[in-house]
Amino acid sequence: MGGRPEILYPLFAPAETLEGVGPRTARLFAALEVTRLRDLLFLLPTAGQDRRRVDSIREVTPPALVTLEVTVGQHRPPRRPSGPYRVQVADAATEFFLVWFHARGEALQRLLPTGQRRLVSGRLELFDGIAQIVHPDHVLRPEEAAALPAFEPVYPLTAGLGQKQVARAVAGALARTPDLPEWVDGPLLAREGWPAWRSAVAAAHRPEGPQAFAPSDPARRRLAYDELLAHQLTLALARSAIRRGKGRASRGSGVLQARVLAALPYRPTAAQLRALAEIAADMASDLRMNRLLQGDVGAGKTLVALLALLIAVEAGGQGALMAPTEILARQHADSLAPLAAAAGVRMELLTGRDKGAERAAKLSALADGRAGIAVGTHALFQREVAFADLRLAVIDEQHRFGVAQRMELAEKGQAPDVLVMTATPIPRSLALAQYGDMDVSVLDEKPPGRRPVQTRLVSIERLAEVVAHLARAVADGRQAYWVCPLVEESETVDLTAAGERFAALRAALGEGVVGLVHGQLPGPEKDAAMADFVAGRTRVLVATTVIEVGVNVPRASIMVIERAEHFGLAQLHQLRGRVGRGAEASTCLLLYAPPLGAAARRRLTLLRDSDDGFRIAEEDLAMRGAGDLIGTAQSGLPRFRVADLERHAGLMAIAQTDARRLLADDPGLVSARGRAARVLLWLTEQDRAIRLIGVG
């Protein structure tokens, strides 16, 4: 791949090489993450100020921004040291004042000589009925007027850095910006009417009116597309690197699957059968499978995963299912055990707690192939765990597992096919941003027998009624979750700590009825508390959000979420999905502290009225924005400077198709457009992609 292309050298020069950017200004720019010329180009203005000319201040209603030509009248220096310095000026129709505080008189005399004409621009205000502009933004001689654009960009700033400094630095950077080869597909460029890259950058920094800030503006859309294309090229390169690894064709006979389907009390849904067919086709090909199985709460991903694991066993190999926590690994093992038994396949559960002879026996069964399926935590992929012939790795709950880990797993020995399951419905644009290297199967219908959960909004003021309702339910043999938002009491937020709620419920419902799980508990205690609840020894489980992912207790039919207004929509939907898994009608009570803000009310009402996780996720994205939706810090979601995942969602899908097609036609990126795409990857600093081309 070589080093950075020479054409980009000017753009990677330090900001200090620009006129007017000394060490101090450079430090201020660094606070905006601007250290090189390319960073300045991507520091786009967030708004613009209308500096079009008027003849007189009579044409506007103060307070307002005005730009006009005036004749300078007399100067009125301050009467007392801290007073205002006033300069009287006349426009075409009336007189008004320019005002300065702490000004040097001789400097203002030079700037505004009495009797001369000047162009002034600034905020016009009325003070005691007198029109004035305090500290005008611009005072120019008439021959300099062309230097002031009719619509002036407004940049993001940091303390100590002014608009003029940023604008001057940007102008310097633009002057040194080369024309780059075109990496956007010709027909797409023509269809969208986009400018070339350099023109787009220049246009974004020289807006001609408010429309330049709309997401639909051609220059901005083009720059957003460049970012999305670079990101999707990286993912497509990762995908082809994973797939390039020698895959093995695994064709199932259907024998073991048939035994499981015969043992089930219901038929799989059409969505489950469709997903299974997509997975089976991937496994049968000799390319490595890298597929995401995305399904809403309760859509039946586990059954699809088991049938896929059985394809691996039918083909003469083994399958592994990896869960993020021990609790979930145990739960998968418990729910799969009867089905594996029906198929006649030996399954082993492997966690960090297995010791001694028991562990040795499990390892030997995996090593010599007697065990067809392994279920466990990441302990499954430790060095001393050897498989006789691992064909399929299923990874549950993807969001803890980024592209880097997917590639690491793919390098583990026998190059297994990889299937990732996530119960978090993700809007399409985000799914492409996070999982663009994968092929996606979606489970979009619920299996028969799942009853909808009744959701109600209840004010915390009615807490006593809720506890009384809970006492009756517990007496009837039902089980309930009670979710609290925080673990330790914080002075700033008066959210009830889980410990206090636990004590209060225990007092109301009796000793031994209530259990407690939170993030600060040691692992064994957490497992013991969960086990008591699963077995029905405790009837109410007070928990922080540790229970949101995957816990399955069919007898639990009540979910109380305290201070529900503090949770995100997707999180609430996940929590609600923990009930409604058994035969009983289930309820979810969203306890809120009035008064509810508009956004919180909209969230809770949407949840009450819908149980479609994909619709809820789309709404969540619209309400909160992409970064908040999955917590960018831990999500592996890229940070974009221009692109906005909500407003440019449609472009993400085009970028994925385009990136995959470009790599299919030109895997080494050696054609003219391929070489231009390399320039784009260097420009956007997609280091991982650059390394992947290097190995290609």
Predicted confidence band of residue 410 (pLDDT cuts 50, 70, 90): low
Q: What are 91-148's pLDDT values in tens digits?
A: 999 999 999 998 888 899 999 999 999 999 999 999 988 999 999 999 999 988 887 8
Q: Which of 568, 564, 597 is nearest to 459 (CA)?
A: 564
pLDDT score, position 236: 87
Which stretches does DSSP call E strand in 344-492? 347-350, 373-376, 390-396, 417-422, 439-443, 453-459, 479-483
Q: What does CATH list as the number for 6-47+169-210?
A: 1.10.150
Higher pLDDT among residues 663 and 581, named by residue: 663
- Rg from Cα positions in the chain: 32
pLDDT, mean of residues 136-162: 87
Q: Which of 233, 280, 238, 234 is nearest to 257 (CA)?
A: 280
Q: Which residues contact 439 (CB under 8 A, 6 or more apart)?
A: 278, 282, 289, 290, 291, 292
Q: What are 683-695's pLDDT values in tens digits?
A: 998 877 777 775 4
Alpha-carbon gap, residue 123 to 171, rounded angstroms: 25
Predicted confidence band of residue 261 (pLDDT cuts 50, 70, 90): very high
pLDDT, mean of residues 73-86: 90
Q: Which CATH superfamily is domain 255-443 in?
A: P-loop containing nucleotide triphosphate hydrolases (3.40.50.300)
pLDDT for 314 beyond 50: yes
- Domains 255-443 and 453-610 agree in fold: yes
- Burial, 117: exposed, middle or buried (Cβ in 10 Å; 0-12, 13-18, 19+)? exposed
Predicted confidence band of residue 208 (pLDDT cuts 50, 70, 90): confident
Are 202 and 174 within 8 A, CB to CB? yes
Four-residue CA torsion sign, 243, 244, 248, 253: positive
- What amino acid is encoded at 166 in this protein? V
Q: What does CATH list as the number for 453-610?
A: 3.40.50.300
- What amino acid is encoded at 600 in this protein? A
pLDDT for 492 beyond 90: no
Predicted confidence band of residue 55 (pLDDT cuts 50, 70, 90): very high
Predicted confidence band of residue 637 (pLDDT cuts 50, 70, 90): low
Q: Which of 81, 90, 139 is nearest to 110 (CA)?
A: 139
Lowest mean per-residue pLDDT among 303-307, 336-340, 378-382: 378-382
Lowest mean per-residue pLDDT among 79-93, 298-312, 482-496: 482-496
φ/ψ of 356, rounded to 5, equals 55, -140
Predicted confidence band of residue 543 (pLDDT cuts 50, 70, 90): confident
Q: What are 438-470's pLDDT values in tens digits?
A: 888 888 777 776 778 899 999 999 999 999 999
DSSP annotation of 496: P
Cα 596 from chain centroid? Answer: 26
DSSP annotation of 404: H
Q: What are 211-245's pLDDT values in tens digits?
A: 888 878 999 999 999 999 999 998 888 888 777 66
Q: How is the beta sheet containing 586-592 ordered, strand by strand?
A: 453-459, 586-592, 556-561, 479-483, 540-543, 514-517
What percent of the chain is modeled with pLDDT above 90? 45
Using H for helix, E for strand and C for coil, what is the string for 602-661?
HHHHHHHHCCCHHHHHHHHHHHHCHHHHCCHHHHCCCCCCCCCCCCCHHHHHHHHHHHHH
pLDDT for 635 beyond 50: no
pLDDT score, position 122: 94
pLDDT for 347 beyond 80: yes
Mean pLDDT of the chain: 85
Token readout for 585 is: 């009608």
Alpha-carbon gap, residue 67 to 168, rounded angstroms: 20
Lowest mean per-residue pLDDT among 306-310, 367-371, 553-557: 553-557
Q: Which of 427, 41, 407 is nearest to 197 (CA)?
A: 41
Q: Quick one: CA torsion of 265, 267, 271, 277, rounded to 10 degrees?
A: 110
Cα 100 from chain centroid? Answer: 47
pLDDT for 638 beyond 50: yes
Token readout for 414 is: 């026998």
pLDDT, mean of residues 497-513: 85
Q: Which of 675, 582, 533 is nearest to 181 (CA)?
A: 675
pLDDT score, position 227: 93
Alpha-carbon gap, residue 495 to 541, rounded angstroms: 18
pLDDT, mean of residues 646-665: 88
pLDDT for 487 beyond 60: no
pLDDT for 400 beyond 70: no
pLDDT score, position 197: 97
Alpha-carbon gap, residue 201 to 196, rounded angstroms: 9
pLDDT for 163 beyond 90: no
Q: What are 669-681's pLDDT values in tens digits?
A: 999 999 999 999 9
The domains of the chain are located at 6-47+169-210, 52-148, 221-244+648-695, 255-443, 453-610
Domain 52-148: state its class: mainly beta
Token readout for 529 is: 């508390």
H-run or E-run covering 336: helix 326-343
pLDDT for 480 beyond 90: yes
